[in-house]
Structure 1
Amino acid sequence: MKVRLLWLPLALAACSPSPAPPAAPSPSATATPAPGAAAIDASVLPQYHWRLSDATDSAGKRIDALFIRADKPLSLDFSANRLNVVNSCNSITGSYSISDGQIEIGQMAHTLMACPDPALASLDDAISQRLQGKLKVTLQTGEASPRLQLVAANGDTLTFVGEPTAETRYGGPGETIFLEVSAQTVPCSHPLIPDKQCLNVRERHFDEHGLQTGTPGEWQPLNQPIEGYTHEPGIRNVLRIKRFAIKNPPADAPNTAYVLDMVVESEKVAQ
């Protein structure tokens, strides 16, 4: 069975370098502190994935509805003026601006995918109703992991821990490419791992409408992992990848990193 995501044409950002993380806050996200409040450096927000680590109501009780999947916690991703919710049932996005120690979130839009798990399906509402209007915002960056806290008018408090994005970790923008991953792995050589199996990949090319262009590259083993991708035998995938150059890699280590951006096509292949 072949599954092609409906947003494939929008996902194909022609194999060109991705925009670098903003060097300074955009006008819509410039933070002006209220009297006695610390300024929020909004340019820090796009440099991290913000993983939800704690959520309590006004009585200090944990909001369990926001912690449905321990392996995939809710996260926030920021761009210059957009906020995206990650790991909910549907994709959720909205505009935002920061001023006077508050973040103001515009009306959130989301896709309409049905989720069979009722608890997961209710996650969309649980997070959307807490990300609306004006919330008090604080950002702590002096620790090893920065912390972002949002407090709603009703006292609900959401605390997020920042995990560096790939652009932050690798010190610059990556190049967007598309790799087709074969349904089955192939043997590959490794000095320390006998009988090692590697992903079998080839590069693909698409135009801005999601139509294939040119000739696919040659199949070859990829002797390193793709960050964020777990291969399932028997499933062929086409992946949108961010490829980063690694500065000063250790001896015998790869000088390139591959990070999964999106699965744009998936097909179960008969054995």
Structure 2
Amino acid sequence: MRAPNACKSLSALSILSLAALLAACAGVPQDSQPASPALPGSVVAPPPAAAMPQLTAYDWELVAMSDRHGRSDTRWRQASPRAPRLHFENGRVSLHNLCNVVSSSYQLRGSMLELTQGVSTRRACAEPALNELEQRMTAALSGAVSYEVRNNAGGPPLLVLHFNDASRWELKGTPTPQTQYGGPGERVFLEVAPHRVACSQPLVRGAQCLRVREVRFADNGVRQGTGEWYPLYTEIEGYQHEPGMRNVLRLNRFKRQQAPADASPWVYVLDMVVESERVR
């Protein structure tokens, strides 16, 4: 796979980084309590993990951060247009909605949580505040020591991560696509053309669809070939297309159990952006 020219605003993953990723394929809510003041270096012990929902059944969206004194830290709200999100799968946790996707392996021992030093994709970040937030959250992740999941009556569960400096994150759970669609998705790579094309959709006048083609990679990350271009008659969950940008996306594709008559039987969910290039 050829890396984009250095003058482009975003840089592609290196072959080694992509190969590693291919190999690995596999405001505070009302119910939360204010953070209790803690001594520096102390750790708040959460309840036993026996009754906790599985972390892998949800994607976890950040809703609150607090420092070691229990004071709310709201800087992340101004830095990130979308709330940072954690995803747990196949023994790895990944941090999304920043400049890059940060991934780390993890182990659970009861309510204790151990994470290794994270690795990151290598996209350039044009926003200084977002870049600073990414660095801060990446550094903090390796200091996670325990977790708890609170079951909210009539609402989504809340994940609370505790860190070795007594700071904490609170994250709201949303069922993963695997949970929603009743099983694992199929891993596919699609290249998205820089511009949408006119397409025929009975209920949408003047519809414009993403123009895509399948991309095939070897296990070592080298591109093997591409398919034919075609209009995609559905949107990709988690992906916002910017006109003039060519992207290669790693996606999970799910089959709907009961699709509406005017809808695609397939659901595409963004896993990560593999390549980006601005086309003049």
Give TM class, smaller chain: 0.7 to 0.9
**Paired position in structure 2 for 1:167:** 178
Between the aligned partners of 2:173 and 2:220, the Cα distance in structure 1 is 34
Q: Is the 8 A contact 2:92 2:104 kept in 1?
A: yes
Choose which of 5, 16, 40 in structure 1 pairs with 2:13. 5
Q: Report the TM-score when normalising by structure 2.
A: 0.75
**How do 1:119-134 residues align onto structure 2 when only pairs under 5 Å count?**
119-128=129-138, 130-133=140-143
Write the letter of the residue equivalent to 1:64.
T
Give secondary structure in 1 for the equivalent of 2:252: strand
Choose which of 132, 156, 161 in structure 1 pairs with 2:167. 156
**How do 1:80-119 residues align onto structure 2 when only pairs under 5 Å count?**
80-110=90-120, 115-119=125-129
Offset of 1:264 from its aligned partner? Answer: 2.0
Offset of 1:134 from its aligned partner? Answer: 5.8
Is 1:237–2:247 an aligned residue pair?
Answer: yes
Offset of 1:193 from its aligned partner? Answer: 1.8
Offset of 1:244 from its aligned partner? Answer: 0.7
Offset of 1:46 from its aligned partner? Answer: 1.4
Choose which of 195, 199, 214 in structure 2 pairs with 1:203. 214
When residues 63 and 187 of structure 1 are mapped into structure 2, their CA distance, relative to the original with a 3 A threshold, is: same
Q: How many residues align?
A: 251
When residues 269 and 87 of structure 1 are mapped into structure 2, their CA distance, relative to the original with a 3 A threshold, is: closer
Give the stretch that moved more between structures: 51-60 or 109-118.
109-118
**Paired position in structure 2 for 1:60:** 70
Structure 2 unaligned spans of 5+: 6-10, 27-44
Deviations 1:62-104 (A, max 9, x none): 1134444342222222234333232345543434333353323
Write the letter of the residue equivalent to 2:212.
V
Between the aligned partners of 2:249 and 2:167, the Cα distance in structure 1 is 38
When residues 13 and 252 of structure 1 are mapped into structure 2, their CA distance, relative to the original with a 3 A threshold, is: farther
Between the aligned partners of 1:121 and 1:178, the Cα distance in structure 2 is 27
Structure 1 unaligned spans of 5+: 20-34
When residues 12 and 94 of structure 1 are mapped into structure 2, their CA distance, relative to the original with a 3 A threshold, is: closer
Q: Is the 8 A contact 1:42 1:98 kept in 2?
A: no
In percent, how many aligned pairs have the same letter? 39
CA RMSD of aligned residues (A): 3.1
Between the aligned partners of 2:247 and 2:75, the Cα distance in structure 1 is 32
Q: Is the 8 A contact 1:242 1:261 kept in 2?
A: yes
Choose which of 149, 173, 193 in structure 2 pairs with 1:139. 149
Give the stretch that moved more between structures: 179-188 or 127-136.
127-136
Choose which of 49, 56, 63 in structure 2 pairs with 1:39. 49
